[in-house]
Amino acid sequence: MSDLRITEAFLYMDYLCFRALCCKGPPPARPEYDLVCIGLTGSGKTSLLSKLCSESPDNVVSTTGFSIKAVPFQNAILNIKELGGADNIRKYWSRYYQGSQGVIFVLDSASSEDDLETARNELHSALQHPQLCTLPFLILANHQDKPAARSVQESSEKLILTVFAYLFQCFFGVWGPWIYLLCHSC
């Protein structure tokens, strides 16, 4: 567990003790947000969630079906539903969209042209889905540390993202604190 997470935990425990002793009531609940995390197999969705939950990415196994992780932050809790990215699972993605308040789309920026085309089609399908079309999307161009990785600009052009202001790049050495800062500032 990182020093920042430990410090946050102690501060929150201090706050709970203070509230219990002085205010004689439960602390205010942190808001919870339900997000869906999608992307093709091998894009790094499971590794992202493992990193956010301070778990070791060494034992990551590709998700078959879906998994849900609660990622606690100081001011909110993100309930992230990760959907497997295999061909035979993607057709069921829309069954899990209901109730989502945001979308994380993870892209393997070092993928083949065929996989990039498939990712583009899946992203555009999600962007047009009635349950997602009004929600905020966070698009992560993962695997930036690989030699064949496309730049954020090139990935954006290949995905035909003309409406978006931001496409974030990330790789294991950076994305834990980066994602924290993005979510913390919400």
Choose between 21 and 112: higher pLDDT. 112
Q: Is 142 annotated as a binding residue?
A: yes
pTM summary value? 0.74
Structure tokens at 19: 């509230």
Spatial distance between the Cα atoms of 13 and 68, rounded to a whole number of angstroms? 25
Q: Is the pLDDT confidence value at 22 over 70?
A: no
Q: Is 176 annotated as a binding residue?
A: no
Q: Is 169 annotated as a binding residue?
A: no
CATH number at residue 107: 3.40.50.300
Structure tokens at 4: 């920042």
Same domain, 14 and 99: no
Same domain, 14 and 96: no
Percent of the chain at pLDDT above 70? 70
Same domain, 20 and 82: no
Q: Is 143 annotated as a binding residue?
A: yes
Q: Is 45 annotated as a binding residue?
A: yes
Structure tokens at 1: 């567990």
- Which value, to the nearest 10 degrees, does the dihedral of the CA atoms of residues 109, 166, 178, 129 take? -80
Q: Is 64 annotated as a binding residue?
A: no
Res 99: pLDDT: 94
Same domain, 130 and 168: yes
Radius of gyration of the chain, Cα coordinates, nearest whole angstrom: 18
